[in-house]
Amino acid sequence: MKRSLLLAKLAIVVLMFAVWMVFYPELPGTMPIHWNMAGTADSFAPKAQALFIFPGIALAMLALFQFLPKIDPKKENYPKFEKTWEIIQFALLVFFAYVYGLVIWASLDPGMNMNRYAMLGIGTLFVILGNYMGKIRRNYFVGYKLPWTIDNDEVWNKTHRLGGKMFMLGGAAFIANAFLNLYLAAMTVVIVGVILVVPVVYSYVIFRKIRK
């Protein structure tokens, strides 16, 4: 089963490289690789470099996914959330493939609304991650990795249950704002800030209560 899952993840990366070869002749010599909050491309790269960035990162991520559990001091916990860990890997790889597709699309059609589709992708990713976050068990690489969460199962579990809800709400907000397009920069800061800060503060409060 593990080998089949690894091959499935590898297939995503291979598909990205295949797309590179298929679209390479059709793309302009210089491609956009970054957009500002107004949806305007503000950074460019030669197409050979631009086309390699995302498949290259995806390949590095795939290698890292195999390596991290082996060096994690809490590696004995990975079998406890094996299915969740696999879903997280797939979600991240598919997200990178999606962004790669957007970059190619934007290079072929500069008029496309990058902000809308980027927000849709980010929002969907957050909803998926949030749905499974409460099932993550203590480790040093995935989740809210704080001294007091890693130290205690109860703090870890409660933090990630709340964090999962925050991720799902934040993801829904990103998806909604993809169509509303309201104060994009401010909304992004607020959504990400809430997702990060609220569970961290909550986790410390729980930790202090337990210590008393």
CB atoms within 10 A of CB 7: 10
85 and 146 fall within a common domain = no
Which residues are within 8 A (CB) of 49 and not within 5 positions of it... i.e. 6 or more apart? none
Among 60, 82, 112, the domain boundary falls at: 112
Strand pairing partners for 77? none
Q: What is the domain count for the chain? A: 2
Picking from 94, 82, 107, the residue whose alpha carbon sits closest to that of residue 31 is: 107
Q: How confident is the model at residue 91, as a pLDDT?
A: 95
pLDDT of residue 154: 94
pLDDT, residue 1, reads: 57
One-letter amino acid at 108 equals L
Instruction: Give the end of a domain, one of 64, 90, 112.
Output: 112
- Among 112, 135, 166, give the residue marking a domain's end: 112
Distance CA 142, CA 122 (A): 18
Q: What is the CA radius of gyration of the chain?
A: 19
Based on the domain organization, do 62 and 83 belong to the same domain? yes
**101-145: pLDDT as tens digits:** 999 998 888 888 888 999 999 999 999 999 999 999 999 999 999
Residues 40 and 119 in one domain: no
**73 plus 125 within the same structural domain:** no
Residue type, 14: V
pLDDT at 63: 92
151: its two tokens: 């130290």
- Angle at the Cα of 87 (from 81 to 88), degrees rounded to 5? 85
Joined together, the tokens standing for residue 201 give 């503060």
For residue 156, the model assigns a pLDDT of: 96
Full residue range of the structural domain in which residue 84 is found: 1-112
- Residue 44, classed as helix, strand or coil, is strand
pLDDT of residue 205: 95
Print pLDDT tens along the chain (212 aa): 577 888 889 999 999 989 888 888 888 888 888 887 777 777 888 888 888 888 899 999 999 999 999 999 999 999 999 999 999 999 999 999 999 999 999 888 888 888 899 999 999 999 999 999 999 999 999 999 999 999 999 999 999 999 999 999 999 999 999 998 888 888 889 999 999 999 999 999 999 988 87
91 shares its domain with 20: yes
pTM over 0.95: no
